[in-house]
Amino acid sequence: MSEAKPCLAYYLSAVIVFLLLTVSTSLSAPSPASSLYDTFLQCLTQHTNSTAQLSSILFAPTNPTFPTVLENYIRNARFNTSSTRKPLLIVTPLTESHVQGAVICAKSVDIQLKIRSGGHDYEGISYISDEPFIILDMFNLRAITVDVENEVAVVQAGATLGEVYYRIWEKSKVHGFPAGVCPTVGVGGHISGGGYGNMMRKYGLSVDNVIDAEIIDVNGNLLNRRSMGEDLFWAIRGGGGASFGVILSFTLKLVPVPETVTVFRVEKTLETNVTATDLVVQWQQVAPTTDERLFMRLLLQPVSSKVVKGTKTIRASVVALFLGRANEVVSILEKEFPLLGLRVENCTEVSWIDSVLWWNDDESLKNGDKPETLLNRNLNSANFLKRKSDYVQKAISRDGLEWLWKRMIELGKTGLVFNPYGGKMAEIGSDATAFPHRKGNLFKIQYSVNWDDPSPSAATNFTNQAKRLYSYMTPFVSKSPRSAFLNYRDLDIGVNTFGQNSFREGEVYGSKYFNANFERLVKVKTAVDPHNFFRNEQSVPVLPTI
Ligand SMILES: *[C@@H]1O[C@H](CO)[C@@H](O)[C@H](O)[C@H]1NC(C)=O
Ligand SMILES: *[C@@H]1O[C@H](CO)[C@@H](O)[C@H](O)[C@H]1NC(C)=O
Ligand SMILES: *[C@@H]1O[C@H](CO)[C@@H](O)[C@H](O)[C@H]1NC(C)=O
Ligand SMILES: *[C@@H]1O[C@H](CO)[C@@H](O)[C@H](O)[C@H]1NC(C)=O
Ligand SMILES: *[C@@H]1O[C@H](CO)[C@@H](O)[C@H](O)[C@H]1NC(C)=O
């Protein structure tokens, strides 16, 4: 169930984690500030023009609120253990000038800066590190201004997608923005890494609808599209912002949405008359080629059989958004996807904002949830999880699928989510932005496993399970490189230790995330941050010095 509602999974587990862990809080009185704290604060005072509240934006580990500030935006409970390395400081800027100061001062004390815009960051690399580090936490920089007349919105990096959708809806019922379906995802990482959601086949990725950006560079300069130049602007649309600077805001081009849209969910198992296998075979033909207003996500999950007790089956769920009315999508799918058996009574016609609520949780409308739900940041709540990704370019055969179901049932818990491409995605060149995965891809896979047991052995068990499924998928997915999606961050595909081989290490994961765009990203990186100040486990490396 939790796999079918990936955004929802957080609430329950937080309670369980709380019950399972013995929380020992020893609130020590604020001890004398560390010298790093003093040095940093003094530096900030000199390098920012808004000095009024500086001590309130800087948190040393001795500060009693430090754990809460740290944990609020931890979105993967795997990285919330007592042995997880903690930052030396957390900086929570309130102004652009604070960000400028933070970059200059982290550089002057020569400590790695991790930039966090709020979630989901599956591998936690915006708030953990093997080397000493400082977190620049952007959650206060969350302003959103919507200009309906000109159909643009300026959105700061620390806003969430739910807030963006809500603020657009406040001003217009016929505008939206193509980005992710989970409301608590943070704008900065989501958009700079590509940003996709259920309007992708009609409008492309978030980055295809970004018309300007503000970034603080390694020298503390505040740049916009004109002053950063087209190379850097290209790089931060799909290359991930954190390799290049600190994204402050994006200017988004709003897109039109109909007053009424249609959502539906259809489920089959291996035991229904039309089987899950039949469904997936036809889905692969239809989902990437159908009307571009239609996005049909497919979720595959091993579940307990309701027919033969004690056995498992595979459940295939089609979850869809159609930018139009129910009767139209039913008549399209009667022709193209008869095995789905969709009827008007299986569909729900809603406003676009209610479709956002439904996609987050398909019970939400029944439960009377209002758009205000989208403003809930669900602080300090996280599941244990592992994600991986793949791209499929050739339909998987019926035999292949049947073999795969056996493997998934054996493994027991890891699910797959197929996100269909085609439509607008196939019309945009693979080098138009840094995001390369365009034409030729039928669908993208997200591997997904969540668990509640906080023990390290459970983490090993379930992450290994995801790895094994990934290995089983090898014959069915893209090759040389085996492509991956940056925002489904996965450290298994390579990490950088920033030693002698930094460039080669970077090439390993970089070629998978960026395909042929890797080379240009390296050139941009080398030009804007030659000493590699902005780095993380999978950042774009600089060219090797000869
Ligand atoms: C402070 O710096 C920001 C740019 O970082 C600028 O927009 C603002 O006008 C400055 N404010 C003052 C009072 O100098
Ligand atoms: C669609 O609606 C029909 C008629 O109400 C119902 O029999 C069928 O089970 C529904 N199908 C799905 C997938 O919900
Ligand atoms: C499934 O097929 C069987 C045999 O063809 C038929 O008797 C049954 O009514 C069908 N069930 C549904 C739900 O269509
Ligand atoms: C992190 O762990 C603490 C207990 O040590 C718990 O109170 C908190 O809710 C957890 N937060 C997340 C995001 O997992
Ligand atoms: C390991 O995974 C299997 C299969 O999902 C599960 O049955 C088992 O309970 C897990 N073991 C642990 C220690 O989590």
| Architecture field, domain 144-256 | 2-Layer Sandwich (3.30)
Tell me the CATH number of domain 32-137, given options 3.40.640.10, 3.30.300.20, 3.30.43.10, 3.40.50.2300.
Answer: 3.30.43.10
d(CA 464, CA 530): 37
Average pLDDT over residues 318-323: 98
Q: Whose CA is nearest to atom 6 of ligand 1?
A: 97
Q: What pTM was computed for the model?
A: 0.93
Lowest mean pLDDT among 22-36, 201-215, 232-246: 22-36
d(CA 146, CA 150): 9
pLDDT at residue number 118: 83
Q: List all residues 6 or more positions away from 209 whose beta carbon is below 8 Å from its beta carbon.
A: 177, 178, 203, 252, 253, 254, 255
Task: Give the tens place of pLDDT for each residue, 99-148.
Answer: 999 999 999 999 999 999 988 999 999 999 999 999 999 999 999 999 99
Task: Give the tens place of pLDDT for each residue, 287-297.
Answer: 999 999 999 99
Amino acid at 462: F
Q: Is 282 in the pocket of ligand 5 (CB under 6 A)?
A: no
d(CA 137, CA 127): 9
pLDDT at residue 246 above 60?
A: yes
Average pLDDT over residues 448-462: 97
162 in helix, strand or coil?
Answer: helix
Q: Whose CA is nearest to atom 13 of ligand 1?
A: 49
From 97, 156, 249, the mutation candidate for ligand 1 (largest count of ligand atoms within 8 A of CB) is: 97
Q: Is 414 in the pocket of ligand 5 (CB under 6 A)?
A: no
DSSP 321-335: EESS-HHHHHHHHHH
Check residue 544 and report its DSSP letter.
Answer: P
pLDDT at residue 20 above 70?
A: no
Ligand 5 centre distance from Cα of residue 461 (Å): 6
The overall average pLDDT reported for the chain is 94
d(CA 432, CA 237): 9
Structural fold of domain 261-344+383-476: Vanillyl-alcohol Oxidase; Chain A, domain 3 (3.40.462)
Ligand 5 centre distance from Cα of residue 99 (Å): 44
Q: Is 488 a catalytic residue?
A: yes
pLDDT at residue number 34: 52
Q: Is 96 in the pocket of ligand 1 (CB under 6 A)?
A: yes
Q: Whose CA is nearest to atom 14 of ligand 1?
A: 49
Catalytic residue among 10, 37, 122, 488: 488
**Residues at CB less than 6 angstroms from ligand 4:** 14, 17-18, 21, 23, 71, 74, 77, 80, 380-382
In degrees rounded to 5, what are phi and psi of residue 492? -65, -25
β-sheet bridge partners, residue 320: 264, 296
Give the pair of three-digit tokens for residue 108. 């002057």
Ligand 4 centre distance from Cα of residue 363 (Å): 27
Q: Is 345 in the pocket of ligand 2 (CB under 6 A)?
A: yes
DSSP 427-442: HS-TTSSS----TT--
In the chain, what is the straight-line distance between the N-terminal and C-terminal CA atoms, in Å?
53
- What is the percent of the chain where pLDDT is above 70? 94
Q: Is 480 in the pocket of ligand 5 (CB under 6 A)?
A: no
Average pLDDT over residues 155-161: 98
Ligand 5 centre distance from Cα of residue 458 (Å): 7
Q: Is 409 in the pocket of ligand 5 (CB under 6 A)?
A: no
Q: Is 456 in the pocket of ligand 5 (CB under 6 A)?
A: no
Ramachandran bin of 133, using left for φ above 0, alpha for ψ from -120 to 50, beta for the remaining angles? beta
pLDDT at residue number 53: 81
d(CA 454, CA 19): 11
Q: Whose CA is nearest to atom 8 of ligand 4?
A: 380
Burial class (CB in 10 A: 0-12, 13-18, 19+), 193: buried
Q: List all residues 6 or more positions away from 477 whose beta carbon is below 8 Å from its beta carbon.
A: 390, 391, 392, 393, 445
Lowest mean pLDDT among 25-29, 197-201, 244-248, 285-289: 25-29
Ligand 4 centre distance from Cα of residue 383 (Å): 10
CB 171 within 8 A of CB 148: yes
Ligand 5 centre distance from Cα of residue 447 (Å): 17
CB 347 within 8 A of CB 325: no
C-alpha torsion sign, points 234, 239, 241, 244: negative
Ligand 2 centre distance from Cα of residue 340 (Å): 10
From 317, 343, 347, 362, the mutation candidate for ligand 2 (largest count of ligand atoms within 8 A of CB) is: 343
Average pLDDT over residues 520-542: 98
